[in-house]
Amino acid sequence: MPLAESAVTAVIVAVFLGLVKGIDYLLSKRNEKNKPLPGLTEDQAKFLSEAHRMVSDIKERGTLTKDQEVLLDKIMKGVVHLDELHSVYDDNHVPKWYVPSDLQDKILKILMQVAAMDDHLDEVKEGQGALIQKISELISSQQLMTQRMGDLISKLDSLNR
Protein backbone atom coordinates (compact mmCIF):
# COMPACT_ATOMS: atom_id res chain seq x y z
CA MET A 1 0.00 0.00 0.00
CA PRO A 2 2.86 2.49 0.60
CA LEU A 3 3.65 2.36 -3.13
CA ALA A 4 0.07 3.40 -4.01
CA GLU A 5 0.20 6.25 -1.50
CA SER A 6 3.53 7.35 -2.93
CA ALA A 7 2.06 7.31 -6.43
CA VAL A 8 -0.93 9.42 -5.34
CA THR A 9 1.43 11.85 -3.59
CA ALA A 10 3.59 12.04 -6.71
CA VAL A 11 0.54 12.77 -8.89
CA ILE A 12 -0.66 15.51 -6.50
CA VAL A 13 2.81 17.08 -6.42
CA ALA A 14 3.02 16.88 -10.23
CA VAL A 15 -0.39 18.56 -10.62
CA PHE A 16 0.60 21.23 -8.11
CA LEU A 17 3.93 21.89 -9.84
CA GLY A 18 2.11 22.06 -13.18
CA LEU A 19 -0.26 24.68 -11.77
CA VAL A 20 2.65 26.59 -10.27
CA LYS A 21 4.53 26.53 -13.58
CA GLY A 22 1.39 27.61 -15.46
CA ILE A 23 0.75 30.51 -13.11
CA ASP A 24 4.43 31.44 -13.16
CA TYR A 25 4.37 31.44 -16.97
CA LEU A 26 1.24 33.62 -17.13
CA LEU A 27 2.62 36.06 -14.61
CA SER A 28 6.02 36.23 -16.28
CA LYS A 29 4.25 37.06 -19.57
CA ARG A 30 2.29 39.72 -17.75
CA ASN A 31 5.43 41.19 -16.24
CA GLU A 32 7.17 41.13 -19.62
CA LYS A 33 4.48 43.28 -21.17
CA ASN A 34 4.07 45.31 -17.96
CA LYS A 35 0.33 45.44 -18.42
CA PRO A 36 -2.54 43.38 -17.02
CA LEU A 37 -3.80 40.31 -18.84
CA PRO A 38 -6.77 41.12 -21.09
CA GLY A 39 -10.20 40.42 -19.70
CA LEU A 40 -9.15 40.29 -16.04
CA THR A 41 -10.93 42.19 -13.34
CA GLU A 42 -8.98 43.97 -10.65
CA ASP A 43 -9.73 41.15 -8.19
CA GLN A 44 -8.50 38.53 -10.64
CA ALA A 45 -5.29 40.46 -11.29
CA LYS A 46 -4.73 40.76 -7.52
CA PHE A 47 -5.38 37.04 -7.12
CA LEU A 48 -2.82 36.21 -9.82
CA SER A 49 -0.34 38.58 -8.21
CA GLU A 50 -0.73 36.74 -4.90
CA ALA A 51 -0.26 33.45 -6.72
CA HIS A 52 2.93 34.77 -8.32
CA ARG A 53 4.20 35.82 -4.91
CA MET A 54 3.42 32.30 -3.66
CA VAL A 55 5.40 30.77 -6.53
CA SER A 56 8.35 33.03 -5.71
CA ASP A 57 8.17 32.01 -2.03
CA ILE A 58 8.07 28.34 -2.95
CA LYS A 59 11.16 28.78 -5.12
CA GLU A 60 13.00 30.52 -2.26
CA ARG A 61 11.90 28.33 0.70
CA GLY A 62 10.86 25.09 -0.93
CA THR A 63 7.71 24.84 1.25
CA LEU A 64 4.22 26.32 1.53
CA THR A 65 3.01 28.68 4.23
CA LYS A 66 -0.52 28.35 5.61
CA ASP A 67 -1.70 31.31 3.47
CA GLN A 68 -0.19 29.71 0.40
CA GLU A 69 -1.97 26.44 1.13
CA VAL A 70 -5.27 28.37 1.36
CA LEU A 71 -4.50 30.15 -1.92
CA LEU A 72 -3.62 26.85 -3.57
CA ASP A 73 -6.90 25.39 -2.33
CA LYS A 74 -8.77 28.36 -3.88
CA ILE A 75 -6.94 27.79 -7.16
CA MET A 76 -7.80 24.11 -7.17
CA LYS A 77 -11.48 24.84 -6.43
CA GLY A 78 -11.49 27.39 -9.26
CA VAL A 79 -9.99 24.85 -11.68
CA VAL A 80 -12.56 22.23 -10.63
CA HIS A 81 -15.39 24.76 -11.07
CA LEU A 82 -14.09 25.75 -14.51
CA ASP A 83 -13.90 22.10 -15.51
CA GLU A 84 -17.48 21.54 -14.31
CA LEU A 85 -18.68 24.50 -16.38
CA HIS A 86 -17.03 23.22 -19.54
CA SER A 87 -17.79 19.53 -19.07
CA VAL A 88 -21.51 19.72 -19.85
CA TYR A 89 -22.47 17.59 -22.85
CA ASP A 90 -25.70 16.82 -24.68
CA ASP A 91 -26.95 13.37 -25.73
CA ASN A 92 -24.51 13.27 -28.67
CA HIS A 93 -21.53 14.04 -26.39
CA VAL A 94 -21.18 17.52 -27.87
CA PRO A 95 -20.41 20.31 -25.41
CA LYS A 96 -23.59 22.26 -24.67
CA TRP A 97 -21.79 25.58 -25.02
CA TYR A 98 -20.93 24.67 -28.64
CA VAL A 99 -23.24 26.15 -31.28
CA PRO A 100 -23.34 23.85 -34.34
CA SER A 101 -22.69 25.43 -37.73
CA ASP A 102 -26.15 24.50 -39.06
CA LEU A 103 -27.75 26.35 -36.15
CA GLN A 104 -25.43 29.29 -36.78
CA ASP A 105 -26.63 29.29 -40.41
CA LYS A 106 -30.28 29.30 -39.30
CA ILE A 107 -29.61 32.17 -36.92
CA LEU A 108 -27.87 34.11 -39.70
CA LYS A 109 -30.80 33.56 -42.09
CA ILE A 110 -33.29 34.73 -39.48
CA LEU A 111 -31.21 37.82 -38.77
CA MET A 112 -31.02 38.57 -42.51
CA GLN A 113 -34.81 38.23 -42.77
CA VAL A 114 -35.24 40.61 -39.84
CA ALA A 115 -32.90 43.09 -41.54
CA ALA A 116 -34.90 42.81 -44.78
CA MET A 117 -38.13 43.34 -42.84
CA ASP A 118 -36.59 46.40 -41.26
CA ASP A 119 -35.85 47.78 -44.74
CA HIS A 120 -39.44 47.08 -45.84
CA LEU A 121 -40.73 48.60 -42.62
CA ASP A 122 -39.35 51.96 -43.74
CA GLU A 123 -41.25 51.59 -47.03
CA VAL A 124 -44.44 50.72 -45.13
CA LYS A 125 -43.99 53.79 -42.93
CA GLU A 126 -43.60 55.98 -46.00
CA GLY A 127 -46.72 54.40 -47.53
CA GLN A 128 -48.65 54.99 -44.31
CA GLY A 129 -47.59 58.64 -44.34
CA ALA A 130 -48.81 59.03 -47.92
CA LEU A 131 -52.07 57.24 -47.04
CA ILE A 132 -52.69 59.53 -44.07
CA GLN A 133 -52.06 62.53 -46.33
CA LYS A 134 -54.59 61.21 -48.87
CA ILE A 135 -57.17 60.56 -46.13
CA SER A 136 -56.66 64.10 -44.88
CA GLU A 137 -57.18 65.46 -48.39
CA LEU A 138 -60.31 63.32 -48.79
CA ILE A 139 -61.78 64.64 -45.53
CA SER A 140 -61.03 68.18 -46.62
CA SER A 141 -62.64 67.50 -50.00
CA GLN A 142 -65.75 66.07 -48.32
CA GLN A 143 -66.02 69.14 -46.12
CA LEU A 144 -65.92 71.37 -49.20
CA MET A 145 -68.51 69.19 -50.92
CA THR A 146 -70.78 69.39 -47.88
CA GLN A 147 -70.50 73.19 -47.91
CA ARG A 148 -71.33 73.32 -51.64
CA MET A 149 -74.30 71.01 -51.10
CA GLY A 150 -75.47 73.35 -48.36
CA ASP A 151 -75.11 76.29 -50.74
CA LEU A 152 -77.05 74.42 -53.45
CA ILE A 153 -79.84 73.55 -51.01
CA SER A 154 -80.04 77.22 -49.99
CA LYS A 155 -80.25 78.29 -53.64
CA LEU A 156 -82.93 75.70 -54.35
CA ASP A 157 -84.93 76.89 -51.36
CA SER A 158 -84.66 80.46 -52.51
CA LEU A 159 -85.74 79.54 -56.05
CA ASN A 160 -88.71 77.52 -54.82
CA ARG A 161 -90.16 80.39 -52.83
- d(CA 156, CA 150) in angstroms, rounded, equals 10
pLDDT per position in the chain (161 positions), as tens? 566 677 777 777 777 777 778 777 777 766 555 455 556 677 777 777 777 777 777 767 777 777 777 887 788 888 878 877 777 777 877 777 777 788 888 999 999 998 888 878 888 888 898 899 999 999 989 998 999 988 888 888 888 87
**Integer Rg of the chain from CA:** 39
- How far CA 129 is from CA of 60, 122, 136, 155, in Å, comes to 79, 11, 11, 39
Do 26 and 37 contact (CB within 8 A), yes or no? yes
DSSP 55-75: HHHHHHHSS--HHHHHHHHHH
Give the start-to-end residue ranges of the domains of the chain: 1-98, 101-161
pLDDT at residue number 32: 56
